[in-house]
Amino acid sequence: IIMNSFDVVIVGAGHNGLVAACYLAKAGKKVLVLEANDEVGGATVSTQAFTGFDARISSYSYLVSLLPDKIISDLNLNFECISRKVSSYTPYSKNGKDDGLLINRTWDKSNVESFNRLTGSNNESDNWQRFYDEVSKFARIVAPTLLAPLPTRSELKAKLNNDQIWNMLIEQPFGETLDQYFTDDLVKGVVLTDALIGTFSSAYEIQANICFLYHLIGNGSGEWKVPKGGMGVLVDELYKLALDLGVEIRVNSKVKSIKAGQHLVEIVLENQEKLTGNFLLSNAAPQVLAKLQGDAPPKSLEGSQIKINMLLARLPKFKSGVDAKDAFAGTLHINETFSQLEKAYNQAKSGVLPEELPFEMYCHSLSDPSVLSPELSQNGYHTLTLFGIHTPANLFDEDGEKIKQLAKERALLAINKYLLEPIEDCLARDSDGQLCIEVKSPLDLEKEIALPRGNIFHKDLSFPFKEDDSTMKWGVETDHPRVFLCGAGAVRGGGVSGIAGHNAAMALLELS
């Protein structure tokens, strides 16, 4: 068998792998990207999920915050994200009356009034502004470091120069910080959600702190935006650029084994073809890379989220009277008070699906109608995404389809409490008369896009710095000097960011 040789072989054609490929090809490297599936994109694809409907659903990842503007400009990508007018809406019933905490992205008088109706004073809205002002100070310090060599813990702390903020975000469990800042159970829960998305953790575990930071540091603002045209547009742009730069991309090319030597890395595919590279970048999870190298995979948290994609024939109406275009435009929180989140975590930890499943929903097409055909848009159709938390992979091991069905039923029942009509009545039906709704468990994510136990971050997230005694430079290094991580499993990986891809490329270019 003729052995093909490349400067760099990248395993996995998700967005991080493609970002790395583009930077390396621009630097003149001969790059090969290998993708096990029959299309590129990994978790950043868009699909027409429902037969007969021209609607582009962001199948897995769905919002963008961490993708640095610098990567878009460096690679001259035709990709933009849209700001959402509404940050979040959380419905509740109080004294027999339906209402909701509506928070507009730009702070205004209506935000204060909404907090006041919930809590009876301005205290929590004042605390909210004070808390997020502190967080933004941290974000503005961290964001510029994400595309540079890793700062040490001491360097970043000195750069922040604020022991109070450092302690509340880094040192003490996030739940204790929330206890200090807020008193209302619902307000505390809304803040806590950003510490739990994709992470199976109590509020009082440091893993929640790390998750919270990644949700709030993107581009120094932490704003979560809607990818125009759907998440797949980012992949389409990267794919076209990579090909234009001379990158070779092979789909249906699953890797069987990787052997890193002193001078070369040898890759054997499932079809027995052998390839070599001077370097290898792994956009696969560290656990997958370890198996391919014949090593024991590192231990990590399981994925703990369930994703439900829907197509609505019309928007439902809320009992509170809030306009559905406001409620669904931002993040709609259901069963996510602080106490509900902690209870759900403890139930899931004991091995049962939470009775009150915590989840959030948002409607991509309200911000970006381009994901729908003009006909669907004119007729009032909308996409709807539901992201449930505290549903770890082990809950689905014995009878995954049954638990998926139960989770779907509990989610729909929970949202229906706040609607004038069941959301099922608003869902579109396909040509077979089936409701346009699909459910993806952590095990589905493992099967479809090789996320170990469905962990969307590949492994436990790490703080965006290194310990003072660490010899890492970029946070992409492995035990072998010719093998680097370029995916979510790198330090500062996770989310749709391209950061790990950029940093792996920079680490490699320093060596060659």
Nearest to 455 by CA among 59, 36, 43, 10: 43
The pLDDT score that the predictor gives to residue 258 is 98
The full DSSP string for 365-398 is: HHH-GGGB-HHHHHTT-EEEEEEE-S--GGGGTT
- Decide: helix, strand or coil at residue 429: strand
Query: Within 10 A of 73 (CB to CB), how many other CB atoms are there?
Result: 9
Query: Within 10 A of 116 (CB to CB), how many other CB atoms are there?
Result: 14
The pLDDT score that the predictor gives to residue 1 is 47
Position 105, amino acid:
R
Query: Which residues are within 8 A (CB) of 28 and not within 5 positions of it... i.e. 6 or more apart?
Result: none
The full DSSP string for 341-373 is: HHHHHHHHHTTS--SS--EEEE-HHHH-GGGB-
What is the per-residue pLDDT across 196-205, written as a single tens digit (0 to 9) for each? Answer: 999 999 999 9
The pLDDT score that the predictor gives to residue 3 is 63
Q: How far is residue 92 from each of residues 318, 337, 414, measured CA to CA in Å?
A: 11, 10, 11
What is the per-residue pLDDT across 173-193, written as a single tens digit (0 to 9) for each? Answer: 999 999 999 999 999 999 999
CA distance linking residue 20 with residue 235, whole number of Å: 13
Which positions of the chain have pLDDT values less than 70? 1-3
Q: Could you tell me if 21 and 31 are in contact, meaning their C-beta atoms sit under 8 angstroms apart?
A: yes
The pLDDT score that the predictor gives to residue 364 is 95
